[in-house]
Amino acid sequence: MVVLSAARWVRSRLSDRFWRVQEVLKHARHFRGRKNRCYRLAVRSVRRAFVRSTKARREKKRFLRELWITRIEAASLEHGLKYPAFISNLLKSQVELNRKVLADLAIYEPKTFKSLAALAQRRRQEGFLAALGDGKEPEGIFSRIVHHH
C-alpha cells in the first residue's frame, strides 16, 4: 500500500531543543537575575544586548576621542598650555600627531610630551610676534613650512 500523504496525527518533534536553548543562554550567563537562567527572559535580554553592542561601536569612537582629549588637556596644563593652544600650534608647526598618539606619549613618554609642549609654546610666541609686531623683524624659525612635493 503506497501512502502518498503522511497520517495527520504524525508530527515531527524536536530532539535537540536543549542545544538550541543553550546557544542563547551561553550569551546570557553573565547577566543579573533570572535573565541568566530562564530562556524566555534570556531571549529578550540577549537580543537587546546584541543590538546595543552594535550601536555602541559608533559611540566607542566618540568616547575614546573624548578620553584622549581630556588626557592631553591635563598633560598640557601641567606644562602651562591650554588644549586648544597646544593642538593648534602643533598643527601649525606641521606636527600631525593624532590625539591617540599624543595621549599615549603623555602617559608613557613624559619628556617627549614636554618637548612637544615647548615646541607649541615657541610657535605660539612666534605667532604673536608675527601678528602684533608687523614690522621689519624676520619670520620665526619654527613658523617655516616644509613643502613635500
Rounded to the nearest whole angstrom, what is the least distance from the CB of residue 32 to other proteins in the complex?
A: 22
Rounded to the nearest whole angstrom, what is the least distance from the CB of residue 128 to other proteins in the complex?
A: 25
Beta strands per DSSP E along 1-149: none
Dist. CA 115–CA 113, nearest whole Å? 5
Exposed/middle/buried for 15, CB within 10 Å: 0-12, 13-18, 19+?
exposed
Tell me which of 78, 118, 133, 144 binds other proteins, using CB under 8 A. Answer: 78
Q: Which of 126, 123, 120 is nearest to 86 (CA)?
A: 120
Tell me which of 31, 39, 73, 79 binds other proteins, using CB under 8 A. Answer: 79
Tell me which of 3, 98, 108, 136 binds other proteins, using CB under 8 A. Answer: 108
Q: Which is nearer to other proteins, 9 or 19 (CB)?
A: 19
Q: Which of 79, 145, 71 is nearest to 118 (CA)?
A: 79
Tell me phi and psi for residue 115, to 5 degrees: -70, -35
Site string for other proteins, 109-148 (x = CB under 8 A): xxxx-x----------------------------------
Tell me which of 25, 81, 106, 116 binds other proteins, using CB under 8 A. Answer: 106
Rounded to the nearest whole angstrom, what is the least distance from the CB of residue 75 to other proteins in the complex?
A: 8
